[in-house]
Amino acid sequence: MAASKAPAPVRRYVSSVATFHRAAGVANPCAAQAVKLALKRMHRERGLAQAQAAPLNDGLVARMLAAAGSTLRDLRNKALLTVAYTTLCRRSELVALQRPDLETEPDGFGTVTIRRSKTDQEGAGEVAPITPDAMRHVKAWIATAGIEAEAGPLFRGVLKGGRVAGALDAGDVPRIFKAMAGKAGLTAEDAARISGHSTRIGASQDMVRYGAELPAIMQAGRWATPVMVARYTRRLTARRSAAVQIADRRAQF
């Protein structure tokens, strides 16, 4: 597999094979020394680092919103983008949101209940805030789509002629973001690097940039460990290292 796949999917495949064998109560072939050595050899040759999707930070989100139009589809796209950024929802979580999951607060904020997620497989549910600027886009989409009092998905497809369809697919999320980025003037190469995780990456980077503490960032993104936060923000946190902190006080080279 390593001849044609990146290291990350190879590791996922090996993990899946191991999980299925353990579930079946049979010996796990991935525990064999030959497999361990093959993985080490792959990592020596190709490294452990994963290619990271392009971040959608606040400046780029604002640029994409400004370039969007006012059709029903545009209103949905703007609501989807801003909710993704402010809640740090994964693409599967976004398309699973239901209209009754959304509640509006008197001060303009909103909340949305994420009923199940990657880190909440048992469905305990978590509540994420939606900021007033994002809520304006959500309200515009709901009102124009005529789904204020309806059950069903919060984000839905829009057919030709402006007819509202069923729920979006998780794969629609990155396609929508890429199309919005193209309208905002990003090159085809830059737009291609945008994924359904780009808002999570951009929002977490913005939180670091604006001085949010790690526990608050982990809570916002519903991360159980700081591993992903560190991966997403490593270029920003590098600027806070001890070497940078003493740069203006030490002898200059």
pLDDT surpassing 80 at residue 50: no
* pLDDT tens for each residue of 165-208: 999 999 999 999 999 999 999 999 999 999 998 999 999 999 98
Q: At what angle do helices 198-209 and 172-183 cross, to 10 degrees?
A: 60
What does the alpha-carbon distance between residue 202 and residue 84 come to, in Å, rounded to a whole number? 10
* pLDDT tens for each residue of 120-179: 565 567 899 999 999 999 999 999 999 988 889 999 999 988 899 999 999 999 999 999
pLDDT category, 94, cuts 50, 70, 90? very high
Q: What angle do CA 128, 89, 164 make, to 5 degrees?
A: 100
Strand ranges (E), 17-121 = 102-104, 110-114
pLDDT at position 49: 60
pLDDT surpassing 70 at residue 5: yes
State the chain's mean pLDDT as an integer. Answer: 88
pLDDT category, 245, cuts 50, 70, 90? confident
The residue among 53 and 199 whose pLDDT is bigger is 199
Nearest Cα neighbor of 65 from 133, 17, 167 is 133
pLDDT surpassing 80 at residue 66: yes
pLDDT at position 170: 93
**Spatial CB neighbours of 114, under 8 Å, sequence gap ≥ 6:** 87, 89, 93, 96, 97, 101, 120, 125, 126, 127, 128, 222
Helix, strand or coil, per DSSP, at residue 69:
coil
